[in-house]
């Protein structure tokens, strides 16, 4: 019975981690999409963008320091993080 409980717990943890990785990836897409629009400080869109940046910046900022935006405009860090998250999800999730 103890082994079964461990297997169920491991499966639950894996499922939660897979879901969190998916939500993180959706946050990255949100930051990308909102960056295409002018956002007024204090507006709803700006508030959402700030929250998404707070979630994604801890991973993105160190990567941006390693790989600065091309021409100062085109930021590759979201693409790289999305690819890494997808690799982790494909290895971890069924």
pLDDT tens-digit series, residues 64-91: 999 988 887 888 999 999 999 999 999 9
3-state DSSP of 5-53: HHHHHHHHHHHHHHHHHHHHHHHHHHHHHHCCCCCCCCCHHHHHHHHHH
Residue predicted with more confidence, 8 or 20: 20
Residue predicted with more confidence, 7 or 51: 51
pLDDT tens-digit series, residues 28-48: 999 999 999 999 998 999 999
Report pLDDT for 31: 95
């Amino acid at each position: 019975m103890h082994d079964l409980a461990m297997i169920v717990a491991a499966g639950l943890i894996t499922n939660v981690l897979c879901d969190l990785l998916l939500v993180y990836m959706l946050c990255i897409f949100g930051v990308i999409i909102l960056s295409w629009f002018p956002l007024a400080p204090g507006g709803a869109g700006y508030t959402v963008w700030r929250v998404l940046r707070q979630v994604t910046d801890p991973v993105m900022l160190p990567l941006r320091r390693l790989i600065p935006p091309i021409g100062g405009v085109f930021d590759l860090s979201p693409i790289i993080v999305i690819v890494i998250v997808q690799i982790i999800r494909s290895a971890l999730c069924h």
